[in-house]
């Protein structure tokens, strides 16, 4: 596996701009909800969520969508822009959790409906290379924790028969919990410590949204949708606090300069889907140096069963077997 010194922060994370000007996003779900009750039982449908995170303030915004269609996604973007203001740049990865959305929305095609919608509003969409979710570290860890908790919780609550209103309110509570997390201390007074939160940056209010008083145990939720929401919010809070705190510990890696891979290097691809005893080998045909002239992504030509294929991969997904200089 090849590694390279960590790149400098992208410019859109350093330029002082209004919140949600540069945004990272992810799509996750689906979850089953009850749409209406019938004599034979309940009519059910699915819901997905689009999670937007601001690249500068680190605040998040969640929008529900009814289908994985272009129209639903454009409606979610329109709601997001209407509430948070227009964005100049959207970033996302090509991970397995987003691949389905990319295919459904035709995001990779220049003439796609979403692409035309964004171009008409001066907004650009930037994708990380495939298999390179670590390049979205500024939002991937945050979204990953939230998505993992939500998927686990909501997959266990099918018997509680969520409605769209309950799910929508719960997502608002989740947004408030995530945006209330501490970023950096802004007061050195030990008698009155104050920490900066994303909510303070986007609402200009110091006080966070407090939880209502009362007991929201599972046994008291029947017939009370608002209590059901608070029970879900309490559960998310407990799991979020336990999984988010360890991420605040400092970690250092990718701090040393390493030799760049070069065009003509023979490499072995790390492919988790490769069959047994199959070793996909390829030839680097193009490198993409960053502004600091460090190569972190490459194009690899692979011949499989007589068919030539070209893959875009990060250097962490290739192992150099024979260098071009050798």
CA distance linking residue 203 with residue 211, whole number of Å: 18
Per the structure, the count of domains in the chain is 2
Specify if 96 maps to a domain.
Answer: yes
pLDDT tens per residue across span 107-128: 555 556 666 666 666 777 777 7
Same domain, 276 and 145: no
Average pLDDT of the residues in 121-136: 68
Same domain, 225 and 273: no
Specify if 201 maps to a domain.
Answer: no
Same domain, 273 and 220: no
pLDDT tens per residue across span 28-41: 878 888 887 666 56
Specify if 197 maps to a domain.
Answer: no
Specify if 205 maps to a domain.
Answer: no
Task: Give the per-residue pLDDT at 253.
Answer: 62
Return the CATH number at 33.
3.30.420.10
Same domain, 280 and 153: no
Same domain, 63 and 156: yes
Specify if 158 maps to a domain.
Answer: yes
Report the helix count and the strand count for the chain, using DSSP H and E. Answer: 7, 12
Specify if 5 maps to a domain.
Answer: no
Contacts 24+ apart (CB under 8 A), 69-73: 69/104, 69/105, 70/104, 70/105, 70/106, 70/112, 70/113, 70/114, 71/113, 73/101, 73/105, 73/114
Q: Is the pLDDT of residue 245 over 70?
A: no
Task: Give the per-residue pLDDT at 159.
Answer: 45
CB-count exposure of residue 171 (10 Å: 0-12, 13-18, 19+) = buried
**Considering the chain, what is the average pLDDT of its residues?**
76
Specify if 255 maps to a domain.
Answer: no
Nearest to 153 by CA among 28, 242, 239: 239
Same domain, 136 and 274: no
**Residue range of the domain that includes 229:** 11-186+215-248
Same domain, 233 and 153: yes
Specify if 50 maps to a domain.
Answer: yes
Q: Which residues pair with 313 in a beta bridge?
A: 298
Same domain, 72 and 179: yes
pLDDT tens per residue across span 142-200: 777 888 888 888 776 554 578 888 899 999 999 988 888 887 767 655 555 667 888 88
Same domain, 244 and 272: no
Same domain, 98 and 134: yes
Nearest to 148 by CA among 35, 46, 242: 242
pTM over 0.75: no
């Amino acid at each position: 596996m090849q590694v390279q010194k960590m790149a400098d922060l992208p410019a859109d994370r350093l330029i002082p701009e209004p919140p949600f000007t540069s945004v990272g996003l992810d799509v996750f779900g689906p979850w089953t909800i009850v749409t209406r009750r019938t004599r034979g039982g309940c009519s059910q449908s699915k819901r997905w969520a689009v999670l937007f995170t601001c690249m500068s303030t680190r605040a998040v915004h969640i929008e529900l969508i009814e289908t994985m269609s272009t129209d639903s996604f454009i409606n979610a973007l329109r709601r997001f822009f209407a509430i948070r203001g227009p964005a100049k740049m959207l970033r996302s990865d090509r991970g397995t959790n987003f691949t389905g959305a990319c295919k459904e929305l035709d995001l990779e095609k220049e003439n796609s409906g979403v692409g035309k919608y964004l171009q008409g509003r001066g907004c650009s969409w930037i994708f990380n290379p495939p298999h390179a979710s670590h390049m979205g570290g500024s939002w991937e860890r945050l979204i990953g924790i939230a998505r993992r908790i939500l998927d686990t919780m909501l997959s266990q609550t099918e018997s509680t028969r969520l409605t769209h209103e309950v799910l929508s309110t719960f997502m608002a509570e989740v947004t408030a919990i995530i945006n209330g997390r501490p970023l950096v201390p802004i007061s050195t007074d030990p008698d009155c410590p104050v920490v900066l939160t994303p909510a303070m940056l986007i609402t200009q209010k110091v006080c966070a949204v407090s939880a209502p008083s009362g007991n929201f145990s599972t046994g008291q939720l029947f017939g009370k949708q608002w209590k059901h929401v608070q029970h879900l919010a309490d559960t998310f809070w407990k799991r979020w606090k336990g999984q988010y705190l360890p991420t605040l510990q400092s970690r250092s890696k990718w701090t040393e300069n390493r030799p760049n891979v070069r065009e003509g290097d023979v490499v072995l691809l790390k492919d988790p889907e490769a069959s047994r005893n199959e070793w996909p080998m390829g030839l680097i045909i193009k490198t993409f140096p960053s502004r600091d002239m460090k190569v972190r992504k490459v194009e690899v030509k692979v011949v499989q069963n007589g068919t030539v294929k070209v893959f875009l991969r990060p250097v962490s997904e290739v192992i150099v077997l024979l260098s071009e200089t050798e």
